[in-house]
Amino acid sequence: MKTLYTTLIILFLVSCSAKKLSPTHPTITGIDTYVASVNANTSLSENIIEGTLTDPSGFNDIGGFEYYPLFDDTTLYRVRFYENTDINISEIYYYKDNSLVFIDATWYHTKSKTTQTKKVYLAGNKVLYEVGEVGISTKALISKGNNFLAEFKKD
């Protein structure tokens, strides 16, 4: 009887958990189409913001960063972010209707010569589908993407 209750509880928890979409779901393929249209849109403006990364003391340079927001007068569409230290980071964030919809992240570890990638599809900060593994959590990527959007809205 105890096994039956345990099994029922497990089944209930699994059935109530968030379901992820498949990569062929129309919502996912729609985001892919949107991303391609943003990348092809030549009427948008793109800036560069760059700087130096220092060690915790603030006295020694350890690398650099740059990011490229793609926007029109009122809307942010994409941010390409790059950071170069002992890990070369490339993260691209896409926005639709003032909301983060897609993240494409690649981390290249220069010492081990290994690459990690992650793609995250979102709706309202909820993960619809993700694939790959990168050295930063999905939650951290979403937070970083939302910070770029918040900065754009302040300006």
pTM: 0.83
Helices (H), 2-154: 2-16, 26-40, 138-154
Residues with Cβ within 8 Å of 40's Cβ and at least 6 positions away in sequence, in order, are: none
3-state secondary structure at position 114:
strand
Please say whether the beta carbons of 100 and 125 come within 8 A: yes
User: Given pLDDT bands bounded at 50, 70 and 90, which one contains residue 19?
Assistant: low
3-state secondary structure at position 76:
strand
- 49, pLDDT greater than 60: yes
Query: Where are the domains positioned within the chain?
Result: 20-154
**Which burial class, exposed, middle or buried, applies to 130 when counting CB atoms under 10 A from its CB (0-12, 13-18, 19+)?**
middle
Q: Specify the pLDDT at position 11.
A: 38
Q: CA nearest 118: which of 126, 106, 102?
A: 106
Distance CA 35, CA 8 (A): 42
The amino acid at residue 144 is: K
Residue-wise pLDDT for 104-136, tens only, equals: 999 999 899 999 999 999 999 999 999 998 677
pLDDT (mean) for 52-77: 89
Distance CA 25, CA 122 (A): 13
Distance CA 11, CA 150 (A): 40
Cβ atoms < 10 Å from Cβ of 83: 16
